[in-house]
Amino acid sequence: MQTLTLLKPDLVFDPPAGPPPLEKPVIVRLPAPQYPDNQPVPNGDVRTLGAFIYRGAVGSEEVWDEKNQTWATAPADAAALAALTPLPFAPAEGEPAPWKATLVAAGQKDKSGNPRFAKAVGGVPVYRLRAFAHAVRNGVEHRAVGAASSDVQFAGVAENHRFGVDLDPESPTDAGRARMRLKNSSLQQAGYIEIRAAGGQEVEIASCGASGAVLARVTLSADGDIHLAPAPGRQIVLDGPLEAQRISYLPQAGGARQTL
């Protein structure tokens, strides 16, 4: 058994920037495999050419087993992978990479009826693809597994929208929380307004930093209090006169609370 040279698959997302939406297909492109003498493998020599889909951290990966419709422990070598069925490549004549496949993640189920692919939460799950090729030249078999593609963490279509309204639960007739939010150009949360009707009626307004972390917050509490919470180390600044009936404060030097 001889080996082949296989490059890593190239993944094309729609839209190109940002995490790929789970609801949109991923185009997989592959340069031509090569024999040990660097000659490209012609279509007529190909017996199997596809991509296996992996999930999880490298070293403890699972691979999708199409026959049994489940995620299984990834085999260690090309010979063991040969018993599985990959996502097939088809010739893509006239394109820079001569082999092409389409990965459809949305709506796919495993044998238990659970989603085969999921949106990433906290960076997991993560997926990647590796090409697999089996070719025969002059009666000699050649087989190889290529390097891994870039990692894929799926998002929903809404995650790529800069403005949105989220409901919890999602049904408008049952929602106990509604959040209106806007994201920056890096798709990180810039700020939000949240209304909560469950567990006490509250309204929260927050600004966020470039990474999406909350900086300052104003909360209109269920008992009618107004809470102002600046970012750590920052101040509440009033650019005008302040009129108050009574002010209660803690002295900077310490001691009991004082009232003016």
Task: Give the pLDDT mean for 247-260.
Answer: 88
pTM of the prediction? 0.64
d(Cα 197, Cα 57) in Å, to the nearest integer?
40
Per-residue pLDDT tens for 116-175? 999 998 889 999 999 999 999 999 999 999 999 999 999 876 666 789 898 888 788 889
Q: What is the pLDDT at residue 80? A: 86
Per-residue pLDDT tens for 43-68? 999 999 999 999 999 889 999 999 99
Q: What is the pLDDT at residue 2? A: 85
Q: What is the pLDDT at residue 160? A: 67
Task: Give the pLDDT mean for 196-207.
Answer: 93
For the chain, the average pLDDT equals 92
Q: Which of left, alpha, beta for 57 (phi over 0: left; psi -120 to 50: alpha)?
A: beta
